[in-house]
Amino acid sequence: MSLSQLARTIHESATLKLNQTAAQLRDKGEPVIHLGGGEPKSKTPIDAIVACTGVLNSGDIKYTPVDGIPALKKAIIRYTEEHYSRVVKPANVIASSGAKQSIMVLLHSILDPKDEVIFPAPYWVSYPEMVKLAGGVPVVVTAEDGSFCPTIEEFEAAMGSYTKAVILNSPNNPSGVMYAPEFVSDLVQLCEKRDIWLIMDDTYNRLVFDGRQPVNCYEYTKTDIEQSKMVVINCVSKMYAMTGFRIGWAVGNKEVVTSMATIQSQQTSSPATPSQWAAVGALNGVQSSIDSLRLTLENNRNILMDHYRAFPGVKVTCPMGAFYTFPDFSAYYKDSQKLSQFLLEKVRVVTVPGKEFGMEGHLRISFCGGAKETTEGIERIRWALDPTSPNELYLGDRRLVRDWM
C-alpha cells in the first residue's frame, strides 16, 4: 500500500491502545487490572450533565463558532482570571476537541518544516508524534542526573537556530513531578529572551497534592499577552473526569489563536456542541468534585507509594500531582515493553512501557482507578517479579503458579 511517508513515521498512541487491550480482555472475562489508564474513575459533575442534557433536549444542536460558543469562552476567561490572575479577551481563547487538538492546531500554526520543539523526558507519548505530524522535529531533553527534571542549562544547551517551541507539562504525565517555580520562571525568561514559543500543558495543574499550589506561568512574565509567545493549554478531561466529552482550550495571543481557529475550521469545525455546553456547566458549576477527586487520588498515591517502599529493587519518585507513578523496574527488566507484556500475560495487569515516554526501564503505573484495584494490581506485579513472594496466587478462583523463576 502506498501510504504517505508521514503516515509511516507516526506511531499509534500507546496509552489509547492499551485502554483498548484492557477493554478487550475484560470483555473476554479476563480478570484484568488496568493500571495503564489515563482517566479518573469518577462521574461527570452534575452541572455538566444538566447543561449538556439541556441542549440535547432542545433538539437544536447545530454548528457553533469554530473557536467555541461565547458561553464557553466566557467560562474559560473566568477560569483564567480565577486560577492565573490574568484577564484575557475572547479573541485570546480557543476551545477545541480536547487539549490534544488545541496543541495540534497550535503546532500547525507555529511550525515550519524542520523546526524543532523541545520537551523534557519523560514526556507524554503524543508530543513527539504531534510535532512530527505538524512537520517539526521533536527534541528531547533528558536530565543527566537521572532525575525527571532537566536543568535550565540542559534546556538551553538543546536550543539552536531551529528551535521554535518548548512544551512543559506540569504536573508531568507520566512521572507526576512538578517543575520547581524557579525553573518555570527561568524557562519563561529563557523563551522570551530567545523568542521561542512556550507551550504550558496545564492539563493536570488542579490535581496537585500535599497542599501544593499549581505553578502559574503568568507570574513570571510582564509581557503583554499580545506580544507573548506563551500559550496555556487546559481541558475538562482530567480535573472534571470528562475525558469522553473531548473539550480542551488554549489561551494565547490573538494572532496565534486566530490562526489556530482557521486551521481548526478546516480540520474539524467547532468542538461538538453538547460537549461545549457540558464544559460550560462544569466550569460554572459547583467545584467540589475537583477537591474530592484530588483527595481520592492523593489517598491512592499514598497507598501505592507504601507498596513501592516494600518492593525490593524498585525506585520511584513520589508524584506531586496528576495520577501516574513512573517507577524504575530496571533491577528486574531493562526492556520496559517486554516487562509490560510479561505482566499482562502472567498476572493480567496493564501498564504502559516507559519507552513510550522516552525512558527505558520504567513503567507508567496509574492510580486513577479505585484504591482496591490499585492495591491488587501492584500486589500482582510484586508477586510476578519479587522472588521472595509465595509461589502461588489466586486471581478469583484461578490459581497461578509461578513457574518462571
Q: Which residues bind ligand GLU (CB under 6 A)?
A: 13, 15-16, 38, 124-126, 173
Q: How far is the CB of 40 from ligand GLU (least distance, A)?
A: 11
Q: How far is the CB of 237 from ligand GLU (least distance, A)?
A: 8
CA-wise closest residue to 381 among 354, 342, 352, 353: 342
> Considering beta carbons, is residue 158 or 322 the nearer one to ligand GLU?
322
> Considering beta carbons, is residue 15 or 97 the nearer one to ligand GLU?
15
**How far apart are alpha carbons 106 and 117 in whole angstroms?**
12
Place of cell 464557553: 72
Q: How far is the CB of 133 from ligand GLU (least distance, A)?
A: 14
Q: How far is the CB of 125 from ligand GLU (least distance, A)?
A: 6
> Considering beta carbons, is residue 88 or 131 the nearer one to ligand GLU?
131
Q: How far is the CB of 124 from ligand GLU (least distance, A)?
A: 6
**How far apart are alpha carbons 1 and 6 in whole angstroms?**
14
What single-letter amino acid sits at 371? A
**How far apart are alpha carbons 121 and 189 in whole angstroms?**
21
CA-wise closest residue to 165 among 202, 119, 204: 119
Q: How far is the CB of 324 from ligand GLU (least distance, A)?
A: 8
Query: Residue 318 is placed in which grid cell?
Result: 513520589
> Considering beta carbons, is residue 13 or 287 the nearer one to ligand GLU?
13
Query: Residue 341 is placed in which grid cell?
Result: 507484556
> Considering beta carbons, is residue 125 or 233 the nearer one to ligand GLU?
125
Q: How far is the CB of 179 from ligand GLU (least distance, A)?
A: 18
CB-nearest residue to ligand GLU: 38
> Considering beta carbons, is residue 40 or 68 the nearer one to ligand GLU?
40
> Considering beta carbons, is residue 365 or 385 the nearer one to ligand GLU?
365
The full 3-state SS of the chain, as one line of letters, equals CCCCHHHHHCCCCHHHHHHHHHHHHHHCCCCCEECCCCCCCCCCCHHHHHHHHHHHHHCCCCCCCCCCCHHHHHHHHHHHHHHHCCCCCHHHEEEECCHHHHHHHHHHHHCCCCCEEEEECCCCCHHHHHHHHCCCEEEEECCCCCCCCCCHHHHHHHCCCCEEEEEEECCCCCCCCCCCHHHHHHHHHHHHHHCCEEEEECCCCCCECCCCCCCCHHHHCCCCHHHCCEEEEEECCCCCCCHHHCCEEEECCHHHHHHHHHHHHHHCCCCCHHHHHHHHHHHHCCCHHHHHHHHHHHHHHHHHHHHHHCCCCCECCCCCECCEECCECCCCCCCHHHHHHHHHHHHCEECEEHHHHCCCCEEEEECCCCHHHHHHHHHHHHHHHCCCCCCEEEECCEEEECCCC
Q: How far is the CB of 357 from ligand GLU (least distance, A)?
A: 9
> Considering beta carbons, is residue 38 or 136 the nearer one to ligand GLU?
38
Q: How far is the CB of 70 from ligand GLU (least distance, A)?
A: 28
Q: How far is the CB of 234 from ligand GLU (least distance, A)?
A: 13
> Considering beta carbons, is residue 124 or 383 the nearer one to ligand GLU?
124
> Considering beta carbons, is residue 326 or 383 the nearer one to ligand GLU?
326
Q: How far is the CB of 55 from ligand GLU (least distance, A)?
A: 25
> Considering beta carbons, is residue 244 or 312 the nearer one to ligand GLU?
244
Pair 324, 174: CB distance under 8 Å: yes
